[in-house]
Amino acid sequence: YDDLGLFSETTLWPTWTENVARCTMKGAYQTQNGVSAIAITGGKVYVATAKSGVANVHVADVKSDKFTALSKDLPTEYYPSRINVDPSGRLLISYMAGLAFQGTAGGGYRYDPKAGTVEKFDLEGGYGSIWADPSNPDHMIAGTCGCWKDQEWEPWTEEHGPAWGDQYFRSFDGGKTCENFTPGKTKGWNQPLISNYLQDGGYAWIRDKAIHWSGTVVTDPRNPDRMFITSGNGVFICTNLWSQDEDNLPTFTFHPDGIEEVVSLDFTSTPDGLNLSAIGDYDGFVHDDVYSIPPQYNPNMGSTSAIAVCPQDTNVWARTANGDGNNTGSAFYTLDRGKTWTPFTPAATGGKLSITMLSKGKYRILNSSASGGVSYSDDLGKTWSKCEGISASKTVYTLVDPNDASIVYASGVQLNDYWASDISKKEPTLEESHYGFFISKDYGKTFTGQTICRYDMCDSTGDPAYITKDTIAMAAGWEGMYILTDGASKAEKLDTVFYAKTVGYGAPEKTGGINTLYMYGKPQETDPEGIYRSTDAGKTWVCINTDHLYGGTGNGNYLCGDMSTFGKVYMSTVGCGIVYGEITGTSKPPVTTATTATTKMTTTTTTAKTESSASTSTNKDKTTETGAKNTVWGDANCDGEIDVSDAVLVARFAAEDKTVQITAEGKQNADVSHNGNIDADDTLQILRYISKLITAAD
């Protein structure tokens, strides 16, 4: 960061004060956390920075902004992870040795601003958060972060061991003593449980995985007997938090509804209704229905870089490891549509897969590596041979022709990383840096290829897109998009595409027509960046999404059209899971409803907002009252949903914020307590409904 000038010794923002606390150290991005915590209380602002070896918690008066080190009695060898404030105004400061996997050292401290004293808690290890119940300061909870110790889903036996993750503590005496009540903990060997075993909440895919990287533990302000925990795989809730009754134990349950923080790396869709994903950390899922919990591949293998289906026989699938610490080399294939899986050793990890059918019951798996090589196996992964004719230095994406199993297409990038060692060069030559396209007519054994254009040294743009027989689209980043025809010997640059980060394809608009293209990019330089759709092989484009991009296509860098439903498309995101868009009127209603004799309130599923000439839906169900026309209780901003934005709007209006305006219809919707006023009680009721603490009947 410093090398980029983003955090120089002098501030870059002239309107800021000159009191700058250093907040970065040398090292890769995953070792940095910048300003890790801010707490404002009692007219003071407290700032924690992820820098060790010097004071890393500072304080300033909010009027002067003059920062000074908080206390010499606080540690400097660890990173402060969070600052919370207890009911008495004292600071609860947690520390850990580093990010990710350094949770074995750190600790917890309580600082009293009035006395200027520091008290160390009897806690060993690195902690993400220490919290005091606002309604009872003697009740405190703490959670480690990056500490890989046992949690139990069931009794620990030789057949079923623990999951490895963080540990959780509670105190009934203001932190003087602490009890480990991590799921499955007992009072001793063969003694009763302190906490119940982990519960999956109906999400079977989370079983045998641990609560981990817990940056926050807090009590529910509406129910202090509940604790919320953030985890690397979602959110867990502990009920019966303070119970010591063996018949009513604390119970940790998975609650990921509405929270997507997974990184999707691959997706495939078939005309007979398959929609399959590959996920970093969590393998992948069979998405039979976007409205329900999808089944995960079983056996599970961790981080997965690719999922492939044979287009000639969609019973045959394969998936392979991403090659990171969460999956160093596993792969599986299935011949029965995912019912049973057989392991195999991939030729390489971190790449992509394709499957073609050599003859009935005999298949060829193609496996590309992260460094450009491509191999094939004719015995379901027992042995591998190198594909000839492909020249690339980054991951090659292969595509089996759905109408001719002998034809396999491939796109790749060639980049000489050392071109700059020649000081006479301002940029690499075309030979040193280019996109290439390749075709095989012998089931992927040998390829012939051609150079398409310069590589823009941004993203490697991903899968070729199958438009129709002998017509393939290829994205080329800032070099636009190309259409390959005549056995991939002819490459035509589209003048209708300025920037194409990735291109995908889906079901045709009309049965028997050409496939629909989906592009993340810009048709023209002046167009907004977003998702565009073409039904005429890229000649024209319709913008369908610029408002809900979730950071773009991220690591997966894909747009995958649904091959059984025109207009439906799936997109990878930057850590926000998989989002989808679909044509208005094609989505079925959400399944979770609560009704009374006079009102109907429907929870909604968030999807990518899309716009088009054939209007594309964001799956937002309008909520209407049957007794009073057009009243949508709770929908203060009249957008058809009841969500946090409505609660915020009502709260600001109730506080007489003069910058806030609510329409007459919105005011009617906002009066959920039916007392003729818009006040704090309306805000509370909306929040309780959103949190599913009450139903519409309440």
Tens-place pLDDT, residues 159-205: 899 999 999 999 999 999 999 999 999 998 889 999 999 999 998 88
**pLDDT at site 648:** 78
Residue 80 reports pLDDT greater than 80 = yes
What sign does the dihedral 377-379-380-384 (CA atoms) show? negative
**pLDDT at site 324:** 72
Q: At residue 117, what are phi and psi to the nearest 5 degrees?
A: -105, 155
Q: Which residues pair with 59 in a beta bridge?
A: 46, 68
Confidence of residue 138 (pLDDT cuts 50, 70, 90): very high
- pTM for the whole thing? 0.73
Burial label for 240, CB within 10 Å (0-12, 13-18, 19+), is: middle
The mean-pLDDT minimum among 18-27, 113-122, 551-560 falls in: 18-27
List the 408-415 sheet strands across, edge first: 397-400, 408-415, 433-440, 448-454
Confidence of residue 293 (pLDDT cuts 50, 70, 90): confident
The CATH code of the domain at 27-254 is 2.130.10.10
| Same topology between domain 27-254 and domain 593-690 | no
Pick from 94, 92, 76: which is nearest to 84 by CA? 92
Burial label for 316, CB within 10 Å (0-12, 13-18, 19+), is: buried
**pLDDT at site 599:** 26
- Average pLDDT (474-494) is 97
Between 87 and 614, residue with greater pLDDT: 87
CATH 1.10.1330.10 fits 593-690, yes or no: yes
Please state the separation of Cα 241 from the chain's center in Å: 29
**pLDDT at site 652:** 76
The mean-pLDDT minimum among 20-29, 145-154, 601-610 falls in: 601-610
Please state the separation of Cα 503 from the chain's center in Å: 21
Residue 11 reports pLDDT greater than 50 = no
Between 609 and 15, residue with greater pLDDT: 15
Confidence of residue 420 (pLDDT cuts 50, 70, 90): confident
Torsion of Cα atoms, 134 then 140 then 141 then 144, to 10°: 120
- Average pLDDT (318-326) is 83
Q: Is 538 left (phi over 0), alpha (psi -120 to 50) or beta?
A: left
DSSP H or E stretch at residue 44: strand 44-49
Looking at residue 507, what DSSP letter applies? -
Looking at residue 641, what DSSP letter applies? -
Using the structure block, give the residue that is written with the tokens 């950071």: 551
Rounded CA separation 465/460 (Å) = 14
Mean pLDDT estimate for the chain: 86
Rounded CA separation 286/647 (Å) = 35
**pLDDT at site 64:** 80
Between 181 and 28, residue with greater pLDDT: 181
Domain residues of the chain, as ranges? Answer: 27-254, 593-690
**pLDDT at site 30:** 54
| Residues 477, 464 contacting (CB under 8 angstroms) | no
Confidence of residue 680 (pLDDT cuts 50, 70, 90): confident
CA atoms within 13 A on the CB side of 481: 35
Q: At residue 685, what are phi and psi to the nearest 5 degrees?
A: -65, -40
**pLDDT at site 441:** 98
Residue 17 reports pLDDT greater than 70 = no
24-28, 287-291, 674-678: which has the highest mean pLDDT? 287-291
Confidence of residue 375 (pLDDT cuts 50, 70, 90): very high
- Average pLDDT (118-126) is 92
Confidence of residue 638 (pLDDT cuts 50, 70, 90): confident
Q: Which residues contact 276 (CB under 8 A, 6 or more apart)?
A: 267, 268, 269, 284, 285, 286, 287, 307, 309, 317
Q: What percent of the chain is predicted at pLDDT more than 90?
A: 61
**pLDDT at site 458:** 81
Between 238 and 588, residue with greater pLDDT: 238
Rounded CA separation 545/253 (Å) = 35
Residue 592 reports pLDDT greater than 50 = no
**pLDDT at site 100:** 63
- Average pLDDT (305-332) is 89
Q: Is 291 left (phi over 0), alpha (psi -120 to 50) or beta?
A: alpha
**pLDDT at site 611:** 36
**pLDDT at site 274:** 97
